[in-house]
Amino acid sequence: MHVRPLHPLFAAELTGADLSVAPVAQLVRTVEDAMARHGVLAIRDAEISDKQQKDFSRAFGPLEIPSRVPGAARPVGTQPMTPGIFYAGNLDHNGAIIPYGSDPKSLAKGAERFHTDSSFHTMPTKWSLLHGVETPPPSAGGDTWFVDARAAYDDLAEAMKARIDNLVGLHDFWEGRKLAGFKAEITPEMRLIIPFPTVRHPLVRTMPSGRKALYIGGHCFGIEGMDAGEGLALVEELYAHATQEKYIYRHQWRQWDLVIWDNRCTMHAATPLKSDEYRRDMRRTTINESGPETSAYEWMGLADAA
């Protein structure tokens, strides 16, 4: 196995790893070490099944199970949920291509703003692992961009660090979609599909290494204790700083790439395909630092409140 950096600040690729068999101690240690240093790790040629992806993911933490609200309609076009797998891409439940922008209720636009998976709920998120089962050619678009929120924090002025170190950000799934340009009215039906209330997270997270990172992904829309306008202005100022060119790694997908990112210290954004000609089938597992394998819906007690 060989780890090679992909960007001056962060991100690397791992070659020579076999994910089709149960992960051995050397592989687990290699991945953990690479993630602690680089924050994003692309494992090449990972031609594996959904089950093998889940087995590999579990070597690093318990799975977050996709939330399914009883009685709520599935968002238009989405594939049926396999336990432990989040689906992304441009395919409907019959495997046909969904034309970009064809569904006015589509949530895809929100993924095009830099964000952090799972910041809109309270589970102790750790990593996401996205598998490119079907990927378009690089010329068609569909890249994923990543930001190193550790380097962005490091470069802040000392006065700004002192100002924000003890602040708490407000995160909300639907408020984040508004920031991403989602124009449709947020209906009760949509709130039922993704029913999470506003949650609180520190604006600055301290990693296990002791290094600090901004935690401001696309679901963060304000600051606890601040006027709504003032809080949003500060969030947007930090967001603009963190998404400068020098902090961005652009990943061009190859089929069977498995890309891992640390949700605690990176942000990511999808880029749209330039054509509806190509199929894109992406499958994500997300793992937590600790706890049971359950959905955020269950974890937060929302099922009991329904």
- pLDDT tens for the chain, 306 residues long, are 999 999 999 999 999 999 999 999 999 999 999 999 999 999 999 999 999 999 999 999 999 999 877 665 555 555 656 789 999 888 887 888 888 877 655 556 668 899 999 999 999 999 999 999 999 998 898 999 999 999 999 999 999 999 999 999 999 999 998 888 877 788 888 888 888 999 999 999 999 999 999 999 899 999 999 999 999 999 999 999 999 999 999 999 999 999 999 999 999 999 988 888 999 999 999 999 999 999 999 999 998 765
Average pLDDT, the chain: 91
CA contacts within 13 A on the Cβ side of 215? 27
What's the chain's length in residues?
Answer: 306
Query: What does the block give as tokens for 286?
Result: 């997300």
CA-to-CA separations, 290 to 22, 62, 73, 122, 230, in angstroms, rounded:
21, 6, 30, 12, 34
Query: What does the block give as tokens for 165?
Result: 């170190």
Question: Checking phi first, is residue 158 left (phi over 0); if not, alpha (psi -120 to 50) or beta?
Answer: alpha
Any idea which fold 2-305 has? Double-stranded beta-helix (3.60.130)
Q: What is the pLDDT of residue 91?
A: 86
E-assigned strand segments in 66-219: 86-89, 125-134, 144-148, 168-171, 199-202, 204-206, 212-214
Q: What is the pLDDT of residue 73?
A: 55
Query: What does the block give as tokens for 177?
Result: 């979609």
* 275, amino acid identity: S
Q: In a 10 Å sphere around its CB, with 0-12 CB exposed, 13-18 middle and 19+ buried, how is residue 22 labelled?
A: exposed
Query: What does the block give as tokens for 218?
Result: 């696309």
Q: What is the pLDDT of residue 18?
A: 96
Where do the structural domains in the chain lie, given as residue ranges?
Answer: 2-305
